[in-house]
Amino acid sequence: MIEVDHLTKQFGTKRAVDHLSFTVKKGEVLGFLGPNGAGKSTTMRMITGFIPPTSGDAKVCGISIVDNPREAKTKIGYLPESAPLYNDMTVIGFLKFCASIRGLKGSEKNDAVERAIETCFLNTVAQQSIDTLSKGYRHRTCLAQALLHDPEVLILDEPTDGLDPNQKFEVRQLIKRLGQTKAILFSTHILEEVEAACSRAVIVDRGKIVADGTPAELLDQSGTGSLTDLFRKVTSRDTEAAA
């Protein structure tokens, strides 16, 4: 469903993503972990066609994001970090607006909005103005817009960042449930999310993959049974160099 092939992004002299390659299959939730500045968001922006790669390619459902970006984007639901919202709109008004942008009309649009509201548990706030929502409900509204066209692939950038423990639990459970029928890639720097929501995870550092496996395999790789120890071992080069 997602095939990343030697994806590279250069910003001047800085190489943010360095010949990255991985796949995400249908029914798989891949956690994309790494310290701040590791290249997670840049990678996701390239896969979604938000920014072009310097070299390499990514295919979504077999469609190249470089050669056929418009067609590839129809297969993707994207939740960017700090996703924008129109505060003066109601939740349902915003979702109808997004559905129209996606080309949905009439009963198809209404059904898509209702489905997204139910999936993200927004029924109780559907008629509220977005500026009155808690951060948790704002996050759910952003996620709902990514689901409107029932995409085969979901790409979520820090979907639980800033949420309280109850809200994080709800979003993780939702991701696991959606991951049964879709291919999901979501970035995080919260290590507990690997065991809570992922079927597989990769750790990136300086734009390269430094660890890859199921949660159990990553724990084995740590040598101590601690994902934190593995994370520190494979991503702490800058810290070690400064010591």
Same domain, 235 and 166: yes
> Strand pairing partners for 10?
15
> Which residue bears the tokens 């922006």?
45
Residues 232 and 241: their CA atoms lie apart, in Å, by 13
Q: Which of 135, 150, 165 is the last residue of a domain?
A: 150
Do 39 and 123 reside in the same domain of the chain? Answer: no
CATH value at residue 155: 3.40.50.300
**28 and 145 within one domain:** no
The pLDDT of residue 238 = 55
Low-confidence ranges of the chain (pLDDT < 70): 236-243
* Cβ neighbours of residue 37 closer than 8 Å, sequence gap 6 or more: none
pTM above 0.75, yes or no: yes
Are 26 and 65 in the same domain? yes
Residue 156, number of CB atoms within 10 A of its CB: 26
Count of structural domains, the chain: 2
Is residue 138 domain-shared with residue 155, that is, in the same domain? no
Q: Give residue 188's domain range.
A: 2-75+151-242
